[in-house]
Amino acid sequence: MIITPLLVIFMLVVFILLFLFLNTVDKRKWLTVLISIILTPFVYFYMFYPFINIVSNYHHQKYFNSEAWIENPSLRYEMIDNTIKSDTLIGISKDKIKALLGKYEWLSWNDAEKNHDPSKWNYALGIEPGAFNNEKECVEIIFKNDKVVDLEHYQEEITFENEEE
């Protein structure tokens, strides 16, 4: 385990909260300090740390990998930020995109033509972890002259087929 300043601060917060709570139960300071020191790691790693992981939406960032993109569609959100920043896909042809990412999952709608727009491919990226997240991640790949010119990352509300409106 790597001891970081944030870990030390959080452990101190847990220790102080435990000490204050135990101090209401028993007024013997030496016993309260001893029990707080013993209980702090358990409370931190089995209660506080899991709660922080559930509530926060931190996730790992990965470099683009075509095999991982195709094999794990629910984890694509880990690759998209780096892919957009590094312009990895900009300038690539539709055929090469189809080979790297697979066939598009859906096309964007063009209101002017009242039809799907074949120059805007969309892929689902999965759902970022977090307790209060009700949106799925998506990316729209925009082509001009059969070459990628832009990638637009956006969120879409999660809906279920049998959900009543």
- Give the type of residue at 159: T
Digit-by-digit pLDDT tens for the chain (165 residues) are 677 888 888 888 888 988 888 888 888 888 888 888 888 888 888 888 888 877 776 667 889 999 999 999 988 999 999 899 999 899 999 999 999 999 999 999 988 888 999 999 999 999 887 777 888 999 999 999 999 999 999 999 988 777 665
Q: Which of the 8 DSSP states describes residue 93? A: B
In this prediction, residue 111 carries a pLDDT of: 87
Supply the DSSP string of 16-81, one letter for each residue: HHHHHHHHHH---HHHHHHHHHHHHHHHIIIIIHHHHHHH----------HHHHHH-GGGTHHHHH
Cβ pair 91, 148 in contact under 8 A: yes
Going along the chain from its start, the domains and CATH numbers come out as 5-55 (no CATH), 66-157 (3.30.1450.10)
In this prediction, residue 89 carries a pLDDT of: 93
Percent composition of the chain: helix, strand, coil (DSSP 3-state, to 5):
45, 25, 30
In this prediction, residue 70 carries a pLDDT of: 93
What SS3 state is found at 45?
A: helix
In this prediction, residue 57 carries a pLDDT of: 66
d(CA 103, CA 95): 10
Nearest 10 degrees: Cα torsion 78, 79, 85, 91: -160
> How many Cβ atoms sit within 10 Å of the Cβ of residue 53?
13
Q: Which residues sit opposite 126 in a β-bridge?
A: 137
What angle do helix axes 29-43 and 5-25 make, rounded to 10 degrees? Answer: 130
In this prediction, residue 112 carries a pLDDT of: 87
Q: Enter the tokens of residue 95.
A: 């055929």
